[in-house]
Amino acid sequence: MNSLVSATASQRGIPAWLNVVLVALFISFTAVQASEIKGLVSDASTDEPLIGANVYIQGTIAGGATDSDGYFSFEYDFEGEVTLVASYVGYKLYSQTVSSSDDLTRLSLKLAKDVFQSEEVVVTGIANKRSKAVAEVAVSRVSASELTDKTNYSSLNQLLNGKVAGVQVRSSSGNIGSGYRFIVRSGGGLNGQGQPVVYIDGIRVENAQMQGEGTFSAGGQRMSTLADLNPDDIESVEVLKGPAAASTYGTNGSNGVVLITTKKGRVSSDPRGSMDVNYKFTSGTNSQSFEYSEEDFVSANDANNIFITGTLRQHNLNISGGNNFIKYYTSFEDRFEEGHILNTWQDRQNFRANIDVIPHEKLNFSVNAGFSQSDAERPQNDNNTLGWLGNTLLFANSYRFTDSTSIANFDDAWETNRFLGGFQASYRPIAGLEARASLGIDNSGTRQDETRPSNLPFSGVVNGERVIWNRDNNQVTADFNVNYNYSLGSRIKATSIVGTQLFDQTLTTNNFSAQNFDTELITEIGAGVDLIAKGETKIHSKTAGIFTDHSLSFDETYFATLGIRNDFASSVGLDAPSIFYPHVSFAARLDQMGIMPGIFNLFKLRAAYGEAGILPEPTDAILRLWEAESGGHGGGAVLSSIGNIEIQPEKVKEFEIGFDTEIFSNYSLEFTYYLQSAEESIIDFNNAPSSGETASPVPFNIGKIEGSGFETLLQGAPVRTRNFQIGFNLVNAYQTNEVVDLGGAQPIFDGFDVNVTKEGLPNHEFYIEDVVGALFDTDGSYLGPELTEDRVALGNPVPDYNGSFSLNITLMRNLNIYGLVDWATGHKVYNNTRRFSVRFGNDPLVNRLRYQLGLSSTPPEGEENLAQFVVGSSEYNAAAVELANNDGNVQSNFIEDGDFFKFREISVNYSLRDLLKNFNYNRYVRDIVIGVSGRNLWTATKYSGADPEVNWRGARSLSRGQDFLTLQNPRSFNVYVQLGF
Amino acid sequence: MNKILMILSLFLVLGILGSCEDFVQDIDPLIDEVDDELLNDPAQVPFIVKGLQQRFATSAGRVAMLADGLADMLFFDQDLPLATFPSYKEIDEGDIQLDNNTVDGIYNDIGELIFFSDGLLERLDQMDGLTDDVRAEAEYASNFYSGMGRYFLGSYFGLTETQGGGPIDVGPFIPTAQLYAEAIDKLNAALAQAPDTTAERVVNSLIARIYLYSGDYSNAAAFAANGMKDIDEPFVALHNVEWTNRYYQQAGNGRVQWVVDFRFNDYVTADPAEAARIPLREEEGTSMTIYYVQDKYTARESSYEVFTWQENHLILAELAIRNGTGDGLAEVNAVRASYGIGALSSLTLEDLMVEREKTLFCTGNRLIDQRRSGTFHLPSGSWEYLPITQQERNINPNL
C-alpha cells in the first residue's frame, strides 16, 4: 500500500503559488497518517556529511534531500518493508530495506565513493540509458558542474578539453567567441567537418561556425555558434565517440554525439525554505601568453606592444528548488570579457529556466528553456593586411599596410540572440513500458555589422565601408520512442525500443555592403554611395530516422544489444536508397562470475560494432544549379553548383573493444581500442577547367579511409580522509588514420596547397616538396634551395598522442586545490607567419644569412661589422645550406614540431561553510567560497610560433594546423566569490 | 495490455516510417539558385545571355591585366606596401608555377565562358515555343562569346612556355592557330546574326584583330576595312561596383599591386599630350620611390575597353605597312589626333608598335605584340603565356 504524501511542503516554506499548483494537481490524493523518516547521509570513508543527497523510497516519488548538515527528513505512510535509496553524484547508490516497525528517525546512510561512476546512468543510444557498470559501449561523462564550481570557463571547448579520452577540443584562435574544432578519435570519415552532433537536453543544437561577410571574413577566423552557451548552466556532458555507440543517432552521428545536460532543480536541502540561491561573482584578466622575441622577429617589440590586459567580469545567479512534484532551476548570467588585444570582446547574458513536473508516478514532464543575448567584437588577424598581427609581424617597419588607428577603429561587431527550448514528456502506463516524446527548438538570429574607417588603404575603401550580414537559423528536433522492459524467464531481462527522430533546419542569410560615405557622422548603410555587395541564401533541409533496439541481460552478468536505424534525408539523391545503420554490442561482468580476484569491485569486458553516416551537402544531389550574378550587364545566369543525383551519405563503421574496471574501490581504469572504416566517402571531383564546370566539385561516393586508436582513463582517489583527500584523472589517447582510396581522384589540397587528402597518407598530412640542400653555380655562388623532385609527407597536424593529468586535493576539509596539465605529441604545425616574415625581411636569421652570402648589401641593423663570406668557403657553403632550409619560398621549411605540454588549468578555493556554521551565520548564508583560478599558465613546446593549437582558417576548413598571423590563446587569471543562500 | 500498447506503438512507428521519405522531400525551394532544367524556357534566354556577358566581363579585363603584367607594360614590386601576392610576382617574372592560383581563377572563368556559350546553343534545342527573334539573339550571343573565349584561350594560355593554346571541354591541346580559326568561325557565325550595323563593325574588327595576330594579313585587311569607325563608341565589358574592373582593383585606385613600366611616364614627360591616352598617377613606395599607376580605369565600375575604332585604325596602318597598300601614316595620325596628339611625319613598323602600346594601354594586347614582334622582354625559358593550370593537366586525360 503506497500513497503519496505532501505533508512537509508548507512547512518548508514553499511559495503559496506552488501550493496552489500542488493542491490543484493532487487534489485527488489524500494524505493519511505518515511515518517520519529522518537520518544522516555521509561519506563512508570520511564521514563527511553529503549535502543535497536524494533519499527516497524505491518505486515512489516520496523522498527528500539532505540539508547543509547532511540530514534528511520526510514522511511516508507504509506498512511492512520498503527499500530506502540514497543517491549522490559521484557516489554509489545506497539502498537499505526498512520496516515500518523500525525506528526510522535516526538512520545513518553511508555512501561509498564511486570512482568509476559505475552507478551513473549514461546515455548509450538515442533512447537507451543504463548505468556505466553495464554499458556495452565506451561513454565518457564529464561532471561539468564540479568543474565550473572550481574554475571559470568561457565556453564549452574550454570545459571539455582534456577531460574526455579520445576527444580534443581546440579553439582556432585566441579571439573571444572563436570557433573550435572537436577532434574525435581517428576522425571518422573523410567527409563533413569531422564534428560531433551536439544535443542540449535532447535538443539538437547548431554546432557550426559563422564566417560572416567583409574582408576575407577577418582573415579566416569564424565565430562559434556555441559561444553563447553558459558553461555554468551545464550539469554534465556525455560523449559518445563514434558509430559503435552513436549508431542510433544515424546520419551525422559518425563523429560522435555530445550530450549536454543542464542543471535541474533538486528537492531543497534547506529546511527553512524551498529554494537554493547561489550567486557567483568572477573577475579576471586575459593577457599575452607568448612573448615574441627579437631573435625571431625584427619587429618583435611592436608585436608585443599590441597586447593588452583584457578584463573579465561575470555575475552568475541561480535559484533552484522544488519538491517531489515539481522542481525548478533558473539562472541568469551576465558576462563581459575582453581579449588580450583590442577589438575582441564579448558581452553575454544568459537566462535559463528548467522545470520538471511529476504529476503522477506514471507521468512526468519537463520544460527546458534558455535565452541568450551576446554582443561580440571580432578582431582582424590571420591572412589579412588589416589586422594587428599582419601589421606587426611581417615587416621590420610595422603598420606598413594599415596604421594602428585605422586597425583600432575597424569594427566587426556581432550580435546573437538565441532561444533554446524543449519539452519532454514521459508516460509509463504499465510496469516496464515507457513512452517518451520530446520537441525542441534551437532558434538563433545573428547580425554582423562591420564598419571600416575612412581612408583605409585597401581595395578602394577610401571613404568608409559598412557590411551588414544577417543570419537566422531555425531547427526543430522531434523524438518519439517507446521503451519496454520485460523478462524472459527468471534470468533474462530484456528491453525493446522502437522510436523515430525528425530534424528540420532552415538557415537563411542576407548581406549588404556599401562604400563611400560622404560623412563619418552618418554610418547608416543607405548613406553609402555604392552598394558593392548584396545577397541572400536559404537552405531548408530535413532528416528523419526510425530505429529499433533490443537488449538482453543474463543474470546481470552478460549483456547484449542489437539494433538498426533507417534514415532519410533531403540532401540524399533522389536516386539513392534510404540508409540502414545497424549496431550490435556485448558486455560481460567478469567480477560477477566469481573468477576475478577480490580486489576487483568491477571488471567488465565489452565490444561493440556500429555504423553511422555523414550527410552530403544540402544541394549535392542536384545535378546543376545556376545563380544570378549581378554585374555590369545585369543579373545573368552563371553556374553555381554541380551535383550528383545518386549521392548518398558516407557510411562510417566502427568496432570497439575494451574493459572497465574498479580496483580497491579507489581506482578505476577504462580502456578502449577501436577500428574505424569509412566507405562510400564522398570525394569531390574537380572537373577539368576546360569543361567549364568548375563552379563546384562534383561529389561521388567512392572514397575510403581507415583509422584506429586507443584511449584510457585512469581515475584514482588514493587518500580520502576527513581533512585530506587526493584524487586524480589520467587521460591518454592514441589515434592514426590512412586514406585508403580516393576512387581515382587527384589528391585534395587545402587553399595553401600544404594539407592533403591522399591515398596512403593520414588525412590532412602536410605534403610538400622538401629542401635537400643548396644549389650552387659553377663559381660556387648560392643559387637557391635544392628541392625533392616530388612532394613528400612531412607529418600531420592531428596529434598521434594526447592526454591530460588532473589532480584534486582537499586540505583541512574546505581548501580545494585543482590543476590540469595536458599534452599532445606526434604532430606538426605550419608556421606560415614565420614564412611570410622571412619573405618580407623581418627574420633576423635570414637577414643575416642573406648579408653573409652577399645576397643583400645592407647588414642587419646593429650588426654593421658582420663579415661577408667568401664564395666557395666552408662558411659560405654552410650558410647557403642554412638559408636554403629557411628559404621563405619553400613551404616545407616552415613545417615544425607542434608537440606541447601545457599547464592548462589551476584553481584554489576555500569554503567558509564550517566557519559560518560555527558562528551560526549559516542561518543567513549557507556557504561562501572564495577562489582563484588560472588558465594557460605555462607551455613547453618546440614550436617557434606563438601557439601550436591555433589554425588561421578557423575550425572547419581543409586547412589544418596552420598558424598564419593567428592570435594566440590568452593566459587567464580569475578570482571569484560564491555565495550560497 | 502491454502487448497491445507495444503493437500500437509499432504501428505508430511504422506509420511514421512510411511518411519519412515524404517528410524529408517536403522542403522549401532554394531562393538563390535555380535548377538547370528550369532554364529551358525561352523566357529565360535574356537571363542566360546576360550570364554570358557577365562571364565575358569578368574574364576580359582580368586576363588582360595579367597579360600586361607578364608583358613589359605592368610590373609588380613589393616596395609598394600593398603588393603582396606571390602569384603576381611569379607572373611578372615569367616564372609561373603550374598551380598559381591567380592563373587558376582566370583559366576557370574562360572555361566557363566557352561552356556557357556553347551550352546555350544546345539548350535552344530543348526549348519549346522559341521565336525567331529570341533564337537569333541567343545564337548571336552564343557564337560571339564562344568566339571570344577561344580567342582568349589562344592568346593568353600555353601548354609550355612558348606553345600557345589550350583544350576545350577536356579535349586535346589545341594550338593557338587552331583556336584562332575556331574563334573566327564563331565570330563569322555571330556576324550573320548581328543585331545592328554597329555590332557588325565590332565583330569585323575583332575578326580582323585575330587574323592580324594569326599573320593572315589579307583577311585581316578585309575585315578591318569593315571594322569600327570613328563614330563608334568603344566596345567594352561592363562592370559595376559589385563586379569591379580588375585594373582598378589590383592596379589602380582600389589597390596597387601592379604599376606601369617607367617608359610610359617617359612618353608623357616627353609629350604631355600623351597623358590623354596614357593616363597615369603617382604612387610612392616604401623606399620613397615614385611609381606610376594606370589612371585609365579609375572607378570600380569603369568599363574595360575591349576594342576601339582607334585599334581598328592601327590594324589598318599595320596592314598598310605589311601589305604595302593604303596610307598607314594617315591612320595613325587620325588616332593620335583623336587624343589631341600631334601628327607623325613618317611611320615604320617599329613606330607602329610604339603607337600600339600607347594607344592600347592597359588592354592586354601588348603581350601578343611582344611575342609576334620578337621583343618579349624576359629571359629565354620564361613563360610567354599563362600556363594551362595544374588542375587541367591533372584531370584532362588528353593533355
Identify which has the larger pLDDT, B161 or B99: B161
Query: Which of these, B357, B308, B351, lies nearest to B333 by C-alpha position?
Result: B351
Is A629 in the B-facing interface, judged by CB distances under 8 Å?
yes
DSSP secondary structure of A754-794: -EEE-TTS-TTEEEE--EEEEEE-TTS-EEEEEE-SS-EE-
Type of residue numbered A94:
Y
Residue A627: its chain B contacts at CB < 8 A?
32-34
3-state secondary structure of A572: coil
3-state secondary structure of A955: coil
- Mean pLDDT for all residues in chain B: 94
Query: Which positions 542-601 of A are in contact with B (Cβ < 8 Å)?
Result: 542-546, 548, 566, 568-570, 572, 578
Q: Report the CATH number of the A10-111 domain.
A: 2.60.40.1120
Show the domain range for B50. 39-242+301-376
Which residue do the cell numbers 546512468 mark?
Answer: A121
| Chain B residues touching residue A250 (CB < 8 angstroms) | none
Residue A769, min C-alpha distance to chain B (Å): 13
A690 — contact with chain B (CB < 8 Å)? yes
CATH code, residues A189-397+406-699+717-763+798-836+895-980: 2.40.170.20
A residues 447-476 lying closer than 8 A (beta carbon) to B: 457-460, 462
Where residue B249 falls (left for φ over 0; alpha for ψ -120 to 50; beta otherwise) is: alpha
Split at pLDDT 50, 70, 90, the class of B49 is: very high
Phi, psi of A247, deg, nearest 5: -60, -35
List CB contacts (< 8 A) between A498 and chain B. Answer: 9-10, 13
Q: Note whether B241 contacts A532, CB cutoff 8 Å.
A: yes
Cβ distance of A578 and B21 shorter than 8 Å: yes
Q: pLDDT confidence of B15, banded at 50, 70, 90?
A: low
Q: What residue in B sits closest to A512 (Cα-Cα)?
A: B242
Within a domain: B309:
yes
Q: How confident is the model at residue B12 (pLDDT cuts 50, 70, 90)?
A: low
Q: What are phi and psi of A7, to 5 degrees?
A: -55, -35
Amino acid A253: pLDDT: 85
- Cβ pair B13:A546 closer than 8 A: yes
Q: What is the pLDDT of residue A199?
A: 95
For A307, counting Cβ atoms within 10 Å of its Cβ (0-12 exposed, 13-18 middle, 19+ buried), the class is buried
Dig out the grid coordinates for B192 from the structure: 550573320
Chains A, B: CB pairs < 8 Å: 240
- B5 band by pLDDT with thresholds 50, 70 and 90: low
Q: With the C-alpha atoms ordered A755, A756, A757, A762, is the resulting torsion angle positive or negative?
A: negative
Average pLDDT (B385-389) is 98
With an 8 Å Cβ cutoff, are A632 and B240 in contact?
A: yes
Burial class (CB in 10 A: 0-12, 13-18, 19+), A27: exposed
pLDDT score recorded for residue A5: 33
Ranges of residues in chain A with a pLDDT under 50 are: 1-32
- Helix intervals (H) in A223-274: 243-246
Whether chain B has a CB inside 8 Å of the CB on A369: the answer is no
Compute the nearest-CA separation of B78 from chain A (Å): 9
Residues of B in contact with A626 (CB under 8 A): 33-34, 36, 39, 51
- Closest residue in A to B49 (Cα) is A636
CA A499, CA A548: separation in Å to the nearest integer?
6
Number of structural domains found in chain B: 1
Q: Residue A447: which residues within 8 A CB-CB, separation 6 or more?
A: A414, A415, A416, A468, A469, A470, A471
In chain A, domain spans: 10-111, 189-397+406-699+717-763+798-836+895-980
Question: Higher pLDDT residue, B348 or A29?
Answer: B348
Q: Hey, is the C-beta of A515 within 8 angstroms of any chain B C-beta?
A: yes
Residue B202 inside a domain? The answer is yes
In whole angstroms, how large is the CA radius of gyration of chain B? Answer: 26
Chain A residue with the nearest C-alpha to that of B101? A751
The model's pTM: 0.88
Half-sphere exposure of A873 (CA within 13 A, CB side): 11
From A451, A424, A448, select the one nearest A437 (Cα to Cα). Answer: A424
Q: What is the pLDDT of residue A217?
A: 64
Least confident of A288-292, B16-20, B99-103: B16-20
No. of helices (H) and no. of strands (E), chain B: 15, 11
Which amino acid appears at position A91 of this protein?
Answer: Y
> For residue B191, what is the domain's CATH number?
1.25.40.390
Quick check: B236 pLDDT over 70?
yes
Cβ neighbours for A41, distance < 8 A, ≥ 6 positions apart: A49, A50, A53, A55, A66, A70, A71, A72, A86, A88, A94, A109, A110, A111
Contact assessment for residue A661 and residue A716, using Cβ atoms and an 8 Å cutoff: no
What is the enclosing helix (H) or strand (E) of A24? helix A16-25
Distance from CA of A875 to the nearest CA of B (A): 30
Tell whether A634 lies on the interface with B, counting CB pairs under 8 A.
yes
Structural domain includes residue B164: yes
A628 contacts in B (CB within 8 Å)? Answer: 32, 47
Cβ of residue A625 closer than 8 Å to a chain B Cβ: yes
Angle value at C-alpha A747, between A742 and A749, nearest 5 degrees? 130
Contact by Cβ (8 Å): A286, A312: yes
CB within 8 Å: A692 and B35: no
3-state secondary structure A877-936: HHHHHHHHCCCCCCHHHHEEECCEEEEEEEEEEEECHHHHHHCCHHHCCCEEEEEEEEEE
Question: Measured between alpha carbons, how far is A277 from A321 in angstroms, rounded to an integer?
Answer: 9
Question: Please, what's the largest Cα pairwise distance for chain A?
Answer: 109
Residues of chain A numbered 241-260 and touching chain B (CB < 8 Å): none
Contacts of B170 in chain A (CB under 8 A): 687-688, 690-691
Closest CA to A196 of A148, A146, A160, A222: A160
CA distance A764 to A190: 10
Q: B128 versus A263: which is more confidently predicted? A: A263
Q: Which residue of A has its CA nearest to B55?
A: A638
Q: Which residue in A27, A32, A38 sits closest to A1, CA to CA?
A: A32
How buried is residue A926: exposed, middle or buried, by Cβ count under 10 Å (0-12/13-18/19+)? buried
Cα of A300 to nearest chain B Cα, Å: 20
Residues 181-200 of chain A whose Cβ lies under 8 A from any Cβ of chain B: none
| All three cell numbers of A781 | 655562388
- Of B31, B238, B392, nearest to A689 by CB-CB distance is B392
- Position B81 scores a pLDDT of 84
How far A695 CA sits from the closest chain B CA (Å)? 9
Q: What is the DSSP string of A662-710?
A: EETTTEEEEEEEEEEEEEEEEEEEPPPGGGT--SS-EEEEEEEEEEEEE
Looking at CA atoms only, how far is residue B305 from chain A in angstroms?
13
Q: Do B170 and A639 touch (CB under 8 A)?
A: no
Measured CA angle at A229 (ends A226, A232), to 5 deg: 140
Tens of pLDDT, residues B161-172: 999 999 999 999
Q: What is the pLDDT of residues B238-291, one digit of tens each?
A: 999 899 999 999 999 989 999 999 999 999 999 999 999 999 999 999 889 999
**Residue B32 counted as domain residue:** no
Bridge partner residues of B314 (DSSP): none
The CA distance from B361 to A24, in Å, is 88
> Which residue of B lies nearest to A395 if distances are taken between CA atoms?
B81
